[in-house]
Amino acid sequence: MSVPERLARIPSRLQRRPSLLVAFLVVSAGILAGGAVVLGVVLTDALRAHTVGDARRTASTYVDRLLRPWLARGGAVEVNGSVPPSVRRELAHRSPEIVSVKVWAPDGTLAWASVAPARIGRRYPVDAGLAAALRHGRSTDEIVGSEDHDRAERLVEARDPATRLLEVYAPVRARGRTIGAYEVYVDARSVLADVARGRRVIWLVTAAVFAALWVALAVLVRGASRKLRRQTRLLREHSRALTEAYDTLERRSLEAIESLNATIEARDPLGAGQSLLVQRIALAIGRELGLGATALEALAHGALLHDIGNIAVPETLLGNPGRLTPEEYEHVKLHADEGAAILARLSPLRRVVPIVRHHHERWDGAGYPDGLAGGDVPLGAAIVAVAEAWAAMTSNRPYRCAMDPDDAVGELLAGRGSQFSPAVVDAFLRAAGDRPRELWLRPAPAPGTSRAVERLLSAPAYVRDPHPARHTSAP
């Protein structure tokens, strides 16, 4: 991906950020709401446990202070002990709160009861709450309803059947050990009312705090979103400016390279315009072979700049009318590598480098600089090789005059499959026969008037083969 394309994609990615911020606000609202629910439940349970526990401690302490002096004697609970009338009156005075009191001996015998005293002295099964107090010395509490007749003393005959009770079991201690247990039933309406009031306060405060947190977060995110949109607009403008600057730089770089190429051609008066001719022929061949727009663009630049490496070749060698020595020929061969090195420094022309570097490779592998053969030769380089050969053969050179088109065609056919790619030679001949003006050739006269045109039109079958051999390499 080119630099302008990468720059152009940055703002589009940033434009998606606001939707991400909205999603973040929605998710954060869900998380905060979940956190508020969890915190509210935890605080409500803690409040209930604290309020009920406080009521349990108050009731068990009060009953122990009132009854233990009369029922705990000699390190044991006395069954049906004598409780003075004043104690009974005080219990009766507290009856709106304390509904019923029972005192149990360790073996499950009812030692004393404030309600239905006829049961005193009987032994009953020990339930879990009573066992915790008798055997483990632990106080327990539980909210029970009027339907729990056995556990709630049948709610005491005169009580409202809808009343909910707080059932309390507390150990009776003497000399550091448990000698019995209290079973106390307390009217739970005031306890539950306190819990309800506390629950409302907790939920209101929790909801308000978490709503305030979310509003603060939304304000911060909204401010950040606005800032991000402003930065996106600025970045889009900067990206557009950078893209334009990059395009300008690329255009000027190409212009500079083309100017350098024209300067190099000017060193050889007979070679002026050769690059444009090679470019035109190469594009005609490329279109004949069905190359795409991107490949044709690379081919156009490669054909135009194929000999730019001649800047490293002394002028005396370029215009030498005689035969080159082996040392001079090796020096001239360096122009392919030099041209590739020059163009490799310019990112817009990096696709052209294989064409420039390998346009002197041969189909049989006897070319330079890497000795590539067959389909390993890039197709663009193979096209430029044929185009350059035709332009060179049909132009005046310091060491010879321009060849007749008939002879030039003969040379191409002679080199087909050895020096040149068969598919490229066939494509050239088809293009020359169909569109001679496009290749700056003489228009085709009537049949029989020109041996060159006759030869193009009556070329072997492979010239018009609809499925010629193709290169595997990209241009």
Instruction: Dump pLDDT digits (tens) for 150-173.
Output: 544 554 444 555 578 899 999 999
pTM of structure: 0.49
- Is residue 81 classed exposed, middle or buried when 0-12, 13-18 and 19+ CB atoms within 10 A define those classes? middle
Residue 102 confidence (pLDDT): 93
Residue 243 confidence (pLDDT): 83
165-174: strand order across its sheet: 110-113, 98-104, 177-187, 165-174, 140-144
The answer to whether 347 touches 3, Cβ cutoff 8 Å, is yes
* Distance of alpha carbon 33 from alpha carbon 17, whole angstroms: 24
Q: 275, 283, 276: which is closest to 431 by C-alpha?
A: 283
* Distance of alpha carbon 89 from alpha carbon 91, whole angstroms: 5
C-alpha to C-alpha distances, 274 to 125, 256, 264, 265, 307, nearest whole angstrom: 119, 18, 11, 8, 10
Q: Which residues of 328-365 are buried (b: 16+ CB within 10 A; e: fewer)?
A: beeebeebbbbbbebbeebebbebbbbbbbbbbbbbee
Residue 183 confidence (pLDDT): 94
Residue 89 confidence (pLDDT): 84
* Distance of alpha carbon 392 from alpha carbon 360, whole angstroms: 13
pLDDT tens for residues 24-71? 888 888 999 999 999 999 999 999 999 999 999 999 999 999 998 888
Q: Which residues 6+ apart lie within 8 Å of 182 measured at CB?
A: 60, 63, 64, 67, 101, 102, 103, 104, 133, 168, 169, 170, 171, 172
For the chain, list residues with pLDDT below 70: 1-18, 95-96, 145-162, 261, 263-273, 318-321, 397-399, 435-475
